[in-house]
Structures are given as structure tokens and as C-alpha cells.
Amino acid sequence: MADLISLRGIKRHYDVGGEVVRALDGVDLIINHNEYISIMGPSGSGKSTMMNMIGCLDSPTEGVYEFEGELVHEMDDNQLASIRNRKIGFVFQTFNLLPKATALRNVEVPLIYANISKSERVKKAEKALLAVGLSDRMHHKPNELSGGQRQRVAIARALVNDPSILLADEPTGNLDSKSGVEIMKILDSLHDDGNTIILVTHEEYIAEHADRTINLFDGKIKEDRQTKKRKRVVA
């Protein structure tokens, strides 16, 4: 099978007040289907830029980005929006749910932009919420849900369009440890179901859930190692 993601010589430079900030400075990376990767590094190492780059929110200043054979670095805004919609699921540290919408509605939104009919949207959204164990909280708004539940809504939203990859940016950063464990369990089982997951974190114990850890420093990959294989649940 072809590589899921291939980054070759990716650079992302910002011009801040006449000074060039090299957020990413020549990154080469191959990500395969069903990998479970954590990206680590200190503040300012380029984690977020890397995340935005892989998530097609940002375009490289230089380099080649292939996503399932499509050349992302050549895409315009509309194509990037489409690829984010169809192939990428985001989970953010601060959940980033629409505050005035119910859980069900929040999960429906990506499907609206994918032009799916109302009845089908509801069906798929309900299924996704059921998968994260929230079928009884579907009609609650985010402020009526706990942090862990909110993050589970966000995961359901990320998964509802059957993306090729799940990008989780500090998914447990705003949660108490118990909720954090729950969320990590969900991510682990999603990986076991065949999903590709990229995790950005600065917590070692979170990174340990992944099979592969990439360490960034000053916009470059300092270390790329296979971590211990979690015990696979084979059906």
C-alpha cells in the first residue's frame, strides 16, 4: 500500500517583523496507514506548525507534501478545505465545539460541508456519538457536558466523516487524569480498529500510548523511534 502521508524537505518560515522564524526547517517524514504516532518537543520546537501542516490548515513555504498520493502543497484553499473535510479529523486541546449547538449538531457540522442530506447526517452523527459512549447526551449543549464528555463529542465529530487520519493536539491537556485516561482508551481502541492517529503532546506518559515517537527540536526532527508495541487486541 502507498504511504498515507509523505513529507519531503518541508519548510515553514514566517516573517515576523522583518525577522524570519523557521518554525519547520526541513522535515522529512513518512506516515503509513494504521500508525499510532506521537509528536513531542518543547515549546517553540514546531509541534503546532507540524500539526497544522499535516492537518492541511497551513501550507509549506518549501517542500513536498503528499497525502494519499495527492500533492497538498500545490492545493488552493478550496481543495485544502475539502481534504480537511474528507480525510482529516481534528481533536483539539480546548475541544473547540460550537458552544450554542447540541452534541448531535456539533457532530453533524462536518457532514453539512460534505453535502450530506439531513436524515443521513443525523444517522451518522448518532452512530459516531454511540461509538464514544455518548448516546444518552446527544441533545446536550457543551456547557451541559463534562470536559471528558466534551472531548468525546470532539472525537465523534472528528470520526464522523470516516477520515484517513485522526490528529489529536494535546487531547488530554485540559482534562483531569481520570477523563484523560478515558480519552486515551478511546484513542487506543480507535487505533485497534484500524485508524491512523497522530498525537501531539509534551507528556511522556501520553506519548507512550503511541507505537512511534517523533521528537522535534528547532523545527527539525531530532529523534524518530519505535516505542514499545502495545499489546494488540486481535479479533
Partner 1 sequence: MAKQSHLKNTIKESFRMAIESIRQNKLRSILTLLGISIGVFSVIGVMTAIRTLESSVNSQLDIFGTNTFMIQKSPAIQIHGPGNNKIRKRKNIRYAHYEELKQRAKLPQQVSVVDGTGERNIQYKDKRLKKTAELSGVDEWGLRSFKTYLADGRNFLEDDIRFYRSVTILGPDLADILFPFEDPIGKIIQIKGLDYTVIGITERKGQAFGQSQDYFVMIPISVYIQRFSSRWTSLAINVEAESTELYEKTMDEVIGLMRVIRKVPPEEENDFEIISNEELMDTFAGFTGGIKLFAGAVSVIALLVAGIGIMNIMLVSVTERIKEIGIRKAIGATRRDILTQFLMEAIFLSQFGGVVGVILGIAGGNLVAVLLKVPAVVPMDWAFYGMAVCSFIGIGFGIYPAWRAANLDPIESLRFE
Minimum Å distance from CB 23 to partner 1? Answer: 11
Query: With respect to partner 1, which residue has the nearer C-beta, 78 or 226?
Result: 78
User: Starting at the edge strand that comes first in sequence, how are the strands of the sheet with 19-31 ordered?
Assistant: 19-31, 5-16, 62-67, 70-71
Nearer to partner 1 (CB atom), residue 113 or residue 205: 113
Per-residue CA distances from 139 to 24, 99, 142 (Å): 42, 13, 10
Amino acid letter for position 76: D
Beta-carbon neighbour count of residue 216 at 10 Å? 23
Closer to partner 1 by CB, 71 or 112: give it. 112
Quickly list DSSP for 181-235.
HHHHHHHHHHHHTT-EEEEE-S-HHHHTTSSEEEEEETTEEEEEEE-PPPPP---
CB 225 to partner 1: min, Å: 29
| Residue closer to partner 1, measured from CB, 145 or 209 | 145
By CB under 8 A, name the binding residues for partner 1.
Answer: 52, 55, 57-58, 77-78, 81-82, 84-86, 90, 92, 96-98, 100, 109-110, 112-120, 157, 161
Reported as type and span, the H/E element at residue 108 is helix 103-113
**Minimal distance in Å, beta carbon 58 to partner 1?**
6
CB of 99 to partner 1, least distance (A): 8
Question: Which lies closer to partner 1 via its Cβ, residue 132 or residue 213?
Answer: 132
Distance in Å, CB of 151 to partner 1, minimum: 14
